[in-house]
Amino acid sequence: MKTDKNRRSFFQKSLLAGIATAGLVPGFGNELIAAVDRGPKYSNPSDLKITGVKTAFMKGHGTHMFVKLTTNQGITGYGEAMDAVRGTWGVATGTEGWDNMTQFLIGQNPLEINKIVEQILRRGHFSGAQGGMYVAVLTGIEIALWDLAGKAMNLPVYRLMGGKFRDKIRLYCDGASASESPEDMAAGALEVKKAGFSAVKFDIDWAEDPAKQDEFNRTASNGEIDRMVKQITAVREAIGMNMDLCLDAHGRYDLPSGIQIAKEMEQFKLMFLEEPVPAENLDSLREITSQTTTPICTGENQYLAHDFRKILEKKAADIVMPDLHKCGGIGEGQRIANLANLYYVPVAPHMVASPFGAMAACHCCAAISNFLCLEWHWFSKWKQWDELILEAPLIKDGYIHLTDRPGVGVTPNEEAIKKYAVANVPFF
């Protein structure tokens, strides 16, 4: 590379000149010059170009889409997108002649992250660029661009995002399902606490609840609500009041039930209750938020800052939870957080990605002031978690600690990912 050659030539001439001046024997500085040659080199940012775009799809917590960007300088960037990416190979890369995102990437300088994302969004205006699968696929590409940029500049992503507010990222552990007994849920909560987590989340909706009156009616029966109260009473008694407790209703209930459930949960002083009603109707969600002291949280199925502007303007939730692996990326996540901060609303991102995606999310969480907590599922039950990256396990005492390694700072283990790859889809 031209920049490296110039740097090496300058160093060699300076060193040899110094040797000659000192009257030392010829060849004295060769080993030092060789050591410099073997060391890491910065790229020449202005000459960096994307030369290849590949994807891999993995079965894990739903469907994971990994993006791999290659460049003319041998630097590789990775990204990950989640949930709304099933069957989207053609959207990202596809085959020759397809209207896919690859055409907007090849030949571009990956340091122009905002420009590239804006190009893809604008040219996809009639292809679904307002949300859903289109934005989810773009999210994986956006994260890969940040990873590339960090590696090219020899900086961690959080530095490129304006620096960090914190050195470690607090996690809340998503524990058991609502089908478990109060005793089992309490035992699970204690297991999470003993593992060092300071916050835990449980589901309270249960499609097979014997007390459910109707498969399709969203009204919660008294029996269902009684079951919820007994479960959460056991959990709160087990962990005490100093450990934060969150609940998820997955948007399963109607407005009257949502209000009743939120009020019943007030006694437990939750960190938040997630989506007691579907998030599509923000007026209904706002009605619940206005009638309870239980903090209401939503946002995992919203896309781009535009959707979150509506939530904030309507005061539909007390906490927002963008999914940084499908909302538009970690740069968009920072914009969402900054917007929420104007309303003094905290951010608790939804997260069900691999450890690579988790670390990518942590860079965004570090770079925003109003970060509350990041989701993490109890992946000890998902055996492939630790093998999906090349580095050591990420989590210690309920936190992910940031590093100063360039880019995202961890590397997907392609061989491990391949073991769980979705069949009949090209793999990188």
Mean pLDDT on 362-383: 87
- Pairing outcome for strands 395-396 and 399-401: antiparallel
Q: At the top level of CATH, which class does the domain 47-155 belong to?
A: alpha beta
- Phi/psi at 3 (nearest 5 deg)? -65, -45
Q: pLDDT by residue (tens digit) across 182-218?
A: 999 999 999 999 999 999 999 999 999 999 999 899 9
Q: Is 82 exposed, middle or buried (0-12, 13-18, 19+ CB in 10 A)?
A: buried
Mean pLDDT on 314-329: 97
Q: pLDDT by residue (tens digit) across 42-92?
A: 568 889 999 999 999 999 888 999 999 999 999 999 999 998 787 777 776
Predicted TM-score (pTM) of this structure: 0.88
Per-residue model confidence (pLDDT) at position 381: 58
Residue-averaged pLDDT of the chain: 88
Q: Contact, 167 vs 399, CB < 8 A?
A: no
Q: pLDDT by residue (tens digit) across 231-260?
A: 999 999 999 999 999 999 999 999 999 999
**Number of residues that make up the chain:** 428
Q: Examine the pLDDT at 24 and tell me if it is beyond 50.
A: no
Q: Examine the pLDDT at 19 and tell me if it is beyond 50.
A: no
Cite the residue boundaries of each domain of the chain with CATH code 3.30.390.10. Answer: 47-155
- Phi/psi at 128 (nearest 5 deg)? 100, 20
Q: Examine the pLDDT at 169 and tell me if it is beyond 70.
A: yes
24-38, 234-248, 308-322, range with the lowest pLDDT: 24-38
CATH 3.40.50.2000 fits 160-402, yes or no: no
Torsion angle in degrees (nearest 10) through CA of 423, 425, 426, 427:
-50
Q: Is 308 exposed, middle or buried (0-12, 13-18, 19+ CB in 10 A)?
A: buried
Which residue has 């890369």 as its token pair? 93
Burial code (b: 16+ CB inside 10 Å, e: under 16) for 410-428 equals bbbbbebbeebbbeeeeee
Per-residue model confidence (pLDDT) at position 9: 46
Give the DSSP letter string of 315-373: T--SEE--BTTTSS-HHHHHHHHHHHHHTT--B--B----HHHHHHHHHHHHT-TTB--
Question: Which region, left, alpha or beta, applies to residue 160 given φ > 0 means left and ψ of -120 to 50 means alpha?
Answer: alpha
Other CB atoms within 10 A of residue 85 CB = 25
Q: At 12, is the pLDDT very low, low, confident or very high (cuts 50, 70, 90)? A: very low
Per-residue model confidence (pLDDT) at position 28: 42
Q: At 38, is the pLDDT very low, low, confident or very high (cuts 50, 70, 90)? A: very low
Q: Contact, 139 vs 328, CB < 8 A?
A: yes
Q: Contact, 246 vs 268, CB < 8 A?
A: no
Per-residue model confidence (pLDDT) at position 25: 40
C-alpha 1: how far from its chain's center? 34
Provide the 8-state DSSP code for 94: -
Cite the residue boundaries of each domain of the chain with CATH code 3.20.20.120. Answer: 160-402
Angle, CA 269 vertex, CA 268 and CA 274 arms, to 5°: 95
C-alpha R_g of the chain: 25
Q: At 22, is the pLDDT very low, low, confident or very high (cuts 50, 70, 90)? A: very low
What are residue 319's DSSP bridge partners? 297
Other CB atoms within 10 A of residue 219 CB = 14
Output the CA torsion sign for 44, 50, 53, 59: positive
Per-residue model confidence (pLDDT) at position 393: 85
Residue type, 366: A
